[in-house]
Chains A and B, each alone.
Chain A
Amino acid sequence: MSKKHNLIRNFSIIAHIDHGKSTLADRMIEMTHTVASNEMTNQLLDNMDLERERGITIKAHAIRMVYKRPEGEYILNMIDTPGHVDFSYEVSRSLAACEGAILVVDASQGIEAQTLSNLYLAIENNLTIIPVLNKIDLPGANPDHIAQLVGDLLGYDPDQIPRISAKSGINIQAVLDKIVDEIPPPEVNNDGPLQALIFDSVYDSYRGVINYIRIVQGSLSAGQKIKMMKSGAEYMVTEVGTFSMQRDPKPELSAGMVGYVLANVKTISDVKIGDTVTLAQNPSPTALPGYKDILPMIFSGIYPINPEDYKDLRDALEKLKLNDSAISWEPETSEALGFGFRAGFLGLLHMEIVQERLDREFNVDIITTVPNVEYHVYMNDGSHIKIESPSKLPDASRYDYIEEPYVKVQIFTPKEFVGAMMTLCDEKRGEFTTMEYIDENKVILKYEIPLAEIMFDFYDRLKSVSRGYAGLDYEPCGYRRNNLVKLDILLNGDPVDAFSVIIHKDKSVQYANAICVKLKELIPRQQFDVAIQGAIGGKIISRSTVKAVRKDVLAKCYGGDITRKRKLLEKQKEGKKRMKNIGSVEVPQKAFLAVLSLSDNSSSAE
Chain B
Amino acid sequence: MQSIYIHTPFCAKVCHYCDFSVLSAPERLYEEYLSLLKIEMEIMLKRYPEFAHHTETIYWGGGTPSILNTQQQNKVFDILKKQGIYFSSLLEFSMEVNPESCFEDRIENAIQHGVNRFSLGIQTFHDDLLKRIGRSHDVETAIKALQTLLKYNSYGISISGDLMFNLPGQTIETFLSDVRFISEQNVDHISFYGLNIAPMTVLGKRIERGSDFVDESVYEPMYLGGVELLSKAGFDRYEVSNFAKPEKQSLHNKNYWNGGSYLGFGPGAHSFVGSVRFHAPEKFAPWRQWVLEGCPESSLSLDPIGKEERLIEKIWLSLRTSQGLNLKTLELESIPIPQEAIQHWENQKMLVRVGDHVHLHGRGWVYMDSIIQDFLR
A556–B163 CA distance with the chains assembled, in angstroms: 13
A577–B376 CA distance with the chains assembled, in angstroms: 9
A565 to chain B, nearest CB (A): 8
User: Is B264 located at the chain interface by the 8 A CB criterion?
Assistant: yes
User: Is B272 located at the chain interface by the 8 A CB criterion?
Assistant: yes
User: Is B277 located at the chain interface by the 8 A CB criterion?
Assistant: yes
CB contact under 8 A between A559 and B312, given known A576-B377, A577-B377, A581-B344: no
User: Is A383 located at the chain interface by the 8 A CB criterion?
Assistant: no
B220 to chain A, nearest CB (A): 6
Nearest A residue (CB) for B377:
A576
Contacts of B370 in A (CB 8 A): 526-527, 552
Contact of A550 with B217 in the complex, beta carbons under 8 Å: yes
Nearest A residue (CB) for B255:
A560
Contact of B368 with A561 in the complex, beta carbons under 8 Å: no
CB contact under 8 A between A560 and B264, given known A527-B367, A577-B377: yes
Contact with A along B290-332 (1 / 0, CB 8 A): 0000000000000100000100110011000000000000000
Contacts of B342 in A (CB 8 A): none
Nearest A residue (CB) for B336:
A308
Q: How large is the interface on B (under 10, 10 to 19, 20 to 34, 35 or more residues)?
A: 35 or more
A572–B316 CA distance with the chains assembled, in angstroms: 13
Contact of B366 with A559 in the complex, beta carbons under 8 Å: no
B352 to chain A, nearest CB (A): 17
Q: Which residues from 567 to 605 on chain A have a C-beta closer than 8 Å to any C-beta of chain B? A: 569-570, 572-573, 576-577, 581, 584
Contact of A555 with B193 in the complex, beta carbons under 8 Å: yes
Contacts of B363 in A (CB 8 A): 527
Contact of A562 with B377 in the complex, beta carbons under 8 Å: no
Q: Which residues from 531 to 562 on chain A have a C-beta closer than 8 Å to any C-beta of chain B? A: 549-562
User: Is A566 located at the chain interface by the 8 A CB criterion?
Assistant: yes
Contacts of A423 in B (CB 8 A): none
Q: Name B376's contact: one of A550, A553, A569, A581 (CB within 8 Å).
A: A569
CB contact under 8 A between A560 and B309, given known A555-B193, A569-B316, A581-B344: no
A170 to chain B, nearest CB (A): 53
Nearest A residue (CB) for B271:
A560
Q: Name A553's contact: one of B20, B194, B262 (CB within 8 Å).
A: B194
Contact of A556 with B372 in the complex, beta carbons under 8 Å: no
A contacts with B, residue count (CB < 8 A): 27
CB contact under 8 A between A550 and B312, given known A559-B5, A569-B372, A573-B373: no
Q: Name A562's contact: one of B223, B272, B368 (CB within 8 Å).
A: B272
B350 to chain A, nearest CB (A): 8
Contact with A along B259-286 (1 / 0, CB 8 A): 0001010000111100001010000000
A192–B309 CA distance with the chains assembled, in angstroms: 64
A526–B348 CA distance with the chains assembled, in angstroms: 13
Contacts of A553 in B (CB 8 A): 194, 240, 365-369
Contacts of B348 in A (CB 8 A): 527, 584
A526–B369 CA distance with the chains assembled, in angstroms: 12
CB contact under 8 A between A563 and B303, given known A527-B348, A552-B368, A554-B368: yes
User: Is B241 located at the chain interface by the 8 A CB criterion?
Assistant: yes
Contact of A552 with B272 in the complex, beta carbons under 8 Å: no
B164 to chain A, nearest CB (A): 10
User: Is B114 located at the chain interface by the 8 A CB criterion?
Assistant: no
Contact of B61 with A559 in the complex, beta carbons under 8 Å: yes
Contact of B264 with A550 in the complex, beta carbons under 8 Å: no
Contacts of B372 in A (CB 8 A): 569
CB contact under 8 A between A560 and B270, given known A566-B313, A573-B377: yes
Contacts of B317 in A (CB 8 A): 557, 562
User: Is B7 located at the chain interface by the 8 A CB criterion?
Assistant: yes
Contact of A551 with B309 in the complex, beta carbons under 8 Å: no
Nearest A residue (CB) for B218:
A550
User: Is B256 located at the chain interface by the 8 A CB criterion?
Assistant: yes
CB contact under 8 A between A559 and B7, given known A550-B219, A550-B220, A584-B344: yes
A180–B344 CA distance with the chains assembled, in angstroms: 69
Contacts of A562 in B (CB 8 A): 256, 270, 272, 277, 313, 317
Which of B193, B219, B309, B373 has the most CB atoms of chain A within a 10 A radius of its CB? Answer: B373
Number of A-B contacts (CB under 8 A): 98
Contact of A566 with B309 in the complex, beta carbons under 8 Å: yes
Contacts of A563 in B (CB 8 A): 270, 277, 279, 303
Contact of A552 with B366 in the complex, beta carbons under 8 Å: yes
User: Is B356 located at the chain interface by the 8 A CB criterion?
Assistant: no
CB contact under 8 A between A570 and B270, given known A553-B366, A561-B279, A576-B377: no
A305 to chain B, nearest CB (A): 10
Contact of B256 with A557 in the complex, beta carbons under 8 Å: yes
Contacts of B374 in A (CB 8 A): 576
User: Is B216 located at the chain interface by the 8 A CB criterion?
Assistant: yes
A549–B366 CA distance with the chains assembled, in angstroms: 10
A372 to chain B, nearest CB (A): 30
Nearest B residue (CB) for A555:
B196
A303 to chain B, nearest CB (A): 16
A524–B349 CA distance with the chains assembled, in angstroms: 21
Nearest B residue (CB) for A550:
B216
Contact of B367 with A573 in the complex, beta carbons under 8 Å: no
B68 to chain A, nearest CB (A): 17
Q: Name A569's contact: one of B240, B264, B373 (CB within 8 Å).
A: B373
A367 to chain B, nearest CB (A): 15
Contact with A along B89-103 (1 / 0, CB 8 A): 000000000000000
A388–B348 CA distance with the chains assembled, in angstroms: 37
Contacts of B313 in A (CB 8 A): 562, 566
Which of B166, B277, B348 has the most CB atoms of chain A within a 10 A radius of its CB? Answer: B277
A551–B371 CA distance with the chains assembled, in angstroms: 12
Contacts of B270 in A (CB 8 A): 559-563
Q: Which residues from 490 to 526 on chain A have a C-beta closer than 8 Å to any C-beta of chain B? A: 526
B22 to chain A, nearest CB (A): 11
Contacts of A551 in B (CB 8 A): 166, 194, 216, 219-220, 223, 366-367
Contacts of B303 in A (CB 8 A): 563
Contact of A566 with B269 in the complex, beta carbons under 8 Å: no
Q: Which residues from 1 to 22 on chain B have a C-beta closer than 8 Å to any C-beta of chain A? A: 5, 7, 20
Q: Name B269's contact: one of A552, A555, A559, A570 (CB within 8 Å).
A: A559
A573–B20 CA distance with the chains assembled, in angstroms: 25
A563–B276 CA distance with the chains assembled, in angstroms: 10
Q: Name A556's contact: one of B193, B264, B367 (CB within 8 Å).
A: B193
A143–B63 CA distance with the chains assembled, in angstroms: 75
A-B contact pairs, 28 of them (CB 8 A): A527-B363, A550-B216, A550-B366, A551-B166, A551-B220, A551-B366, A551-B367, A553-B240, A553-B365, A553-B366, A554-B369, A555-B193, A556-B196, A556-B241, A557-B317, A559-B270, A560-B256, A560-B262, A560-B264, A560-B271, A562-B256, A562-B277, A562-B313, A563-B303, A566-B309, A566-B313, A572-B369, A573-B377
Instruction: A573-B376, A584-B348 are known; give 10 further A-B pairs, CB within 8 A.
Output: A527-B350, A527-B367, A549-B216, A550-B217, A550-B220, A556-B196, A559-B61, A563-B279, A572-B369, A573-B373
| 6 tightest Cβ-Cβ pairs between the two chains A and B | A555-B196, A550-B216, A560-B270, A551-B219, A552-B369, A563-B303
B residues sitting closer than 8 Å to A (CB atoms) are 5, 7, 20, 59, 61, 166, 193-194, 196, 216-217, 219-220, 223, 240-241, 256, 262, 264, 269-272, 277, 279, 303, 309, 312-313, 316-317, 340, 344, 348, 350, 363, 365-370, 372-374, 376-377
A residues sitting closer than 8 Å to B (CB atoms) are 526-527, 549-563, 565-566, 569-570, 572-573, 576-577, 581, 584
